[in-house]
C-alpha cells in the first residue's frame, strides 16, 4: 500500500515537472530570434562580430533572479521528495524486509540525477553572485 502510494506520488511529480519544463522551454524557445548567417568574407567584419557585445551577459545569465530562484525551488521540491521516498523505501526494505529494492533504486537514481542537475544549475546561475 505504501509502495503504491509512493509510486503514484512519484508519477504525479514527474508529470508536473515535465509539464512545467515543457511550458518553460516553449516560452524560452519563442524568446530566441534566429539570426541571419554572415555573408561577408572581409576578415575585419568577421572579427568585429566577436568583439561586439562582450559586455552584455549571455541569455542564460540574463534571466531575472526571481525566475532563477523559482526554477531552483521547483527542482528542489521534487529532489527532497525523491530523497525522502528513497529513505522510506530503504527503511522499509532494511528494517521490515519489504521487497522494494527496485523502487528504492529507481528513486535513488532519480534523486542523484536531480541533485546533479540542481547543483549544475545552481553553480552556473549563482556562482558569480
Confidence at residue 91, expressed as pLDDT on a 0 to 100 scale: 96
Least confident residue range of 15-29, 61-75, 107-121: 15-29
SS in 3 state form for 9-67? Answer: HHHHHHHHHHHHHHHHHHHHHHHCCCCCCCCCCCHHHHHHHHHCCCCCCCCCCCCCHHH
Number of H helices, E strands in the chain: 4, 0
Confidence at residue 29, expressed as pLDDT on a 0 to 100 scale: 57
User: What Å distances lie between residue 7 and 3, 39, 89, CA to CA?
Assistant: 6, 55, 11
Instruction: Categorize the per-residue pLDDT at 95 as very low, low, confident or very high, splitting at 50, 70 and 90.
Output: very high
When pLDDT is averaged across residues 8-36 and rounded to a whole number, the result is: 70
Which residue ranges make up each domain of the chain?
64-129
Q: Please, which residues have CB within 8 angstroms of residue 75's CB and are 6 or more apart in sequence? A: 114, 117, 118, 121
Q: Is the pTM of this model over 0.85?
A: no
47-84 pLDDT, tens per residue? 776 776 666 666 666 788 899 899 999 999 999 999 99
Amino acid at each position: 500500500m505504501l509502495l503504491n502510494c509512493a509510486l503514484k506520488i512519484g508519477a504525479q511529480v514527474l508529470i508536473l515537472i515535465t509539464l512545467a519544463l515543457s511550458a518553460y522551454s516553449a516560452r524560452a524557445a519563442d524568446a530566441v530570434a534566429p539570426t541571419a548567417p554572415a555573408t561577408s568574407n572581409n576578415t575585419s567584419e568577421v572579427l568585429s562580430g566577436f568583439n561586439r557585445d562582450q559586455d552584455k551577459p549571455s541569455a542564460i545569465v540574463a534571466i531575472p533572479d526571481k525566475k532563477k530562484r523559482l526554477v531552483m525551488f521547483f527542482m528542489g521540491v521534487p529532489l527532497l521528495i525523491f530523497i525522502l521516498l528513497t529513505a522510506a523505501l530503504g527503511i522499509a526494505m532494511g528494517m521490515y524486509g519489504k521487497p522494494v529494492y527496485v523502487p528504492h533504486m529507481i528513486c535513488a537514481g532519480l534523486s542523484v540525477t536531480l541533485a546533479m542537475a540542481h547543483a549544475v544549475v545552481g553553480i552556473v546561475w549563482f556562482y558569480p553572485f
